[in-house]
């Protein structure tokens, strides 16, 4: 890597002022841009909102030729290109939404050297016709956006990204810059390897988002909890509420609207027109809430999203970080709020157990879920947990801007409670014919004569009613934490509770189990707590 020459630096800075109207580069932008302008390859890991776009837009403007941007976000290309054109940048895109004439116009502009930036979807780029077109014109830089899509284990895997290694072979002299906001070490390695960029310089920005306050609360009546959170702290603010299913997206948007919070749904089951309308309302209006499945948000550039709420547990810490990262891109105080419950864990385990994919895939998915659980159940600073997950050393052990820092959870000796649960599981396990989940275990411990308890004579078990000292919510908390600590596991398609290798140490009184106390909260009906 060469140092940025004075001429290049002033070109880049001049472009930053003149075209984008900004005073100074942020963080590593200057170093990255200098490296790429000088012809070097770069792998850039920067959190959402960190300013990745300028890292390729400025080299594209400074170097002769057209910067080719590979992006999976077809729906956003028109917006991105419009925004650039408004700044006077000669930008175009080619994707499946265009008709023949539109595409021909863009091709002609590219060949005539009249484009600074050309956005392409990966499935278009790999076509021989597109590669041929690019060969006939002049490319200044290849930018591979959302580069984690090349990672096969990732949740955004796009097979078409695998063919992008051809770029380095066909255009060895054109610098390539791969960018992502997903940054585990494994993903990082995979990007470098699969895109064929062994000599790339790596730029890793801090993943800390100090203006985002992280909070995770036990789920009781999630929609009501969400409403209270919004009314108390984010009245009139724009935000995103993530739900796992389309049904709960619809129900939540409706519930919020009925209760005075303007909200619209967004999920893949809505027709394209409705989705586009809701998205553009969100971008243009001040205080709209979008209730969405994860289909919403990738690449959305709205700086003043004040909160991101999760009503269901994300599948991985990467997903959680990326989704919460959509809050507070303007640097102002924002909240990442999540309600999480035992049912989330059981549900996701079941999905993994029943889902597609081979054994290795299931194990990976399980490990992702475990890391997410550990974040939820920690009694330590959430921010430092997050940063350490991404391989970064936190600046302080306690950030002062997450729920566990703001009100440190009390812990208690849950060894006896854990033994009660494990002993019940042992007894149910003897009835091999029948599978029982957490609900039945808790009913037995609490001495409830439900139809299902009576049907299986579970009121005859010696453990029946030995857990009347704790509330249902507390029991659910205990089960959740045992799951997070791998002292118990969920198996099969019915969410059966089973022992783990570690369970024996608890049953044998060889270890103490420290649990965090459930935050006190209003009593809720039993059906609500099962939501």
Where on the chain is the footprint of ligand ADP (CB under 6 A)? 22, 25-26, 29, 46, 48-54, 301, 303, 329
Which residues bind to Zn ion, rule: CB under 5 A? Answer: 381, 383, 399, 402, 405
In the complex, what is the shortest distance from the CB of residue 329 to ligand ADP, in angstroms, rounded to a whole number? 5
Work out what residue 158 binds among Zn ion, ligand ADP, none; the CB cut-off runs from 5 to 8 Å by kind: none
* Pick 121 or 418: Cβ nearer ligand ADP: 121
* Pick 46 or 417: Cβ nearer ligand ADP: 46
- Within 8 A by CB and 6+ apart from 487, the residues are 418, 422, 500, 502, 503, 506, 513
Residue with tokens 């129900």: 251
In the complex, what is the shortest distance from the CB of residue 404 to Zn ion, in angstroms, rounded to a whole number? 6
d(CA 26, CA 54): 10
Closest Cα partner for 71 from 179, 153, 152, 171?
179
In the complex, what is the shortest distance from the CB of residue 105 to ligand ADP, in angstroms, rounded to a whole number? 27
User: Residue 161 phi/psi, 5° resolution?
Assistant: -65, -25
* Pick 176 or 329: Cβ nearer ligand ADP: 329
The structure tokens listed for 422 are 């494990």
Work out what residue 301 binds among Zn ion, ligand ADP, none; the CB cut-off runs from 5 to 8 Å by kind: ligand ADP
In the complex, what is the shortest distance from the CB of residue 314 to Zn ion, in angstroms, rounded to a whole number? 19
* Pick 52 or 209: Cβ nearer ligand ADP: 52
Work out what residue 439 binds among Zn ion, ligand ADP, none; the CB cut-off runs from 5 to 8 Å by kind: none
In the complex, what is the shortest distance from the CB of residue 327 to Zn ion, in angstroms, rounded to a whole number? 16
CB of 225 closer than 8 Å to CB of 192:
no
CA-CA distances (angstroms) from residue 2 to 11, 192, 201? 16, 20, 11
User: Residue 455 phi/psi, 5° resolution?
Assistant: -55, -40
Work out what residue 402 binds among ligand ADP, Zn ion, none; the CB cut-off runs from 5 to 8 Å by kind: Zn ion
* Pick 34 or 414: Cβ nearer ligand ADP: 34
Work out what residue 69 binds among Zn ion, ligand ADP, none; the CB cut-off runs from 5 to 8 Å by kind: none
* Pick 36 or 405: Cβ nearer Zn ion: 405
In the complex, what is the shortest distance from the CB of residue 212 to Zn ion, in angstroms, rounded to a whole number? 11
Displacement of CA 191 from its chain's centroid (Å): 18
In the complex, what is the shortest distance from the CB of residue 55 to ligand ADP, in angstroms, rounded to a whole number? 8
Work out what residue 293 binds among ligand ADP, Zn ion, none; the CB cut-off runs from 5 to 8 Å by kind: none
* Pick 29 or 140: Cβ nearer ligand ADP: 29
Work out what residue 54 binds among ligand ADP, Zn ion, none; the CB cut-off runs from 5 to 8 Å by kind: ligand ADP
Work out what residue 399 binds among Zn ion, ligand ADP, none; the CB cut-off runs from 5 to 8 Å by kind: Zn ion
H runs (alpha helix) in 88-216: 100-111, 122-125, 128-136, 166-170, 185-194
Burial class (CB in 10 A: 0-12, 13-18, 19+), 286: exposed
Dihedral (Cα; 54, 56, 61, 66), 10-degree rounding: -150
d(CA 133, CA 150): 24
* Pick 212 or 365: Cβ nearer Zn ion: 212
> What is residue 401's DSSP assignment?
S
* Pick 11 or 344: Cβ nearer ligand ADP: 11
Work out what residue 52 binds among Zn ion, ligand ADP, none; the CB cut-off runs from 5 to 8 Å by kind: ligand ADP
d(CA 529, CA 442): 13
H runs (alpha helix) in 1-127: 6-15, 29-37, 53-62, 74-86, 100-111, 122-125
In the complex, what is the shortest distance from the CB of residue 514 to Zn ion, in angstroms, rounded to a whole number? 19
Contacts by residues 16-24 (CB-CB < 8 Å, ≥ 24 positions apart): 16/54, 16/58, 19/61, 19/87, 19/88, 19/89, 20/54, 20/87
In the complex, what is the shortest distance from the CB of residue 51 to ligand ADP, in angstroms, rounded to a whole number? 3
């Amino acid at each position: 890597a060469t140092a940025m020459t004075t001429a290049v630096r002033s070109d880049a800075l001049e472009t930053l002022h003149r075209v984008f109207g900004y005073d100074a580069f942020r963080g590593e932008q200057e170093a990255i841009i200098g490296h790429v302008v000088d012809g070097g390859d770069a792998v850039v890991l920067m959190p959402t909102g960190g300013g990745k776009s300028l890292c390729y837009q400025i080299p594209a403007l400074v170097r002769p030729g057209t910067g080719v941007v590979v992006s999976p976000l077809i729906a956003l290309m028109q917006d991105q290109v419009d925004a650039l054109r408004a700044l006077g940048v000669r930008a175009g895109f080619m994707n499946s939404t265009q008709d023949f004439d539109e595409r021909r116009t863009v091709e002609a502009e590219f060949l005539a050297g009249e484009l600074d930036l050309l956005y392409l979807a990966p499935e278009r780029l790999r076509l021989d016709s597109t590669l041929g077109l690019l060969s006939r014109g002049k490319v200044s830089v290849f930018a591979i956006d959302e580069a984690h899509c090349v990672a096969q284990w990732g949740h955004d895997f796009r097979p078409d990204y695998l063919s992008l290694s051809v770029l380095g072979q066909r255009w060895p002299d054109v610098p390539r810059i791969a960018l992502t906001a997903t940054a585990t070490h494994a993903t990082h390695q995979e990007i470098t390897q699969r895109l064929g960029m062994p000599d790339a310089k790596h730029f890793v920005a801090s993943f800390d988002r100090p203006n985002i306050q992280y909070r995770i609360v036990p789920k009781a009546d999630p929609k009501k909890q969400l409403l209270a959170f919004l009314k108390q702290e984010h009245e009139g603010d724009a935000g995103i509420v993530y739900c796992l299913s389309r049904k709960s997206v619809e129900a939540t948007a409706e519930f919020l609207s009925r209760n005075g919070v303007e909200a619209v749904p967004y999920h893949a089951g809505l027709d394209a027109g409705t989705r586009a309308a809701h998205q553009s309302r969100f971008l243009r209006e001040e205080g709209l809430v979008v209730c969405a499945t994860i289909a919403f948000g990738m690449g959305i550039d709205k700086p003043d999203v004040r909160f991101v709420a999760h009503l269901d547990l994300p599948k991985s810490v990467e997903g959680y970080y990326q989704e919460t990262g959509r809050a507070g891109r303007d640097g102002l105080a924002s909240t990442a709020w999540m309600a999480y419950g035992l049912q989330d864990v059981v549900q996701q385990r079941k999905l993994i157990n029943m889902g597609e994919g081979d054994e290795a895939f299931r194990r990976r998915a399980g490990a992702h879920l475990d890391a997410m659980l550990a974040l939820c159940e920690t009694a330590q600073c959430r921010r430092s947990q997050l940063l350490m997950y991404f391989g970064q050393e936190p600046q302080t052990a306690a950030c002062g801007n997450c729920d566990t820092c703001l009100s440190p959870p009390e812990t208690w000796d849950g060894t006896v409670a854990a033994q009660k649960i494990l002993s019940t599981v042992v007894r149910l396990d003897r009835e091999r014919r029948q599978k029982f989940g957490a609900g039945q275990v808790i009913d037995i411990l609490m001495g409830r004569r439900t139809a299902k308890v009576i049907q299986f004579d579970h009121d005859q078990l010696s453990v029946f009613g030995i857990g009347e000292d704790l509330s249902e919510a507390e029991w659910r908390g205990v089960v959740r934490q045992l799951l997070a600590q791998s002292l118990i596991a969920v198996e099969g398609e019915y969410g059966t509770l089973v022992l783990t290798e570690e369970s024996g140490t608890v049953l044998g009184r060889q270890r103490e189990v420290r649990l965090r106390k459930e935050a006190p909260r209003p009593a809720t009906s039993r059906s609500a707590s099962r939501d």
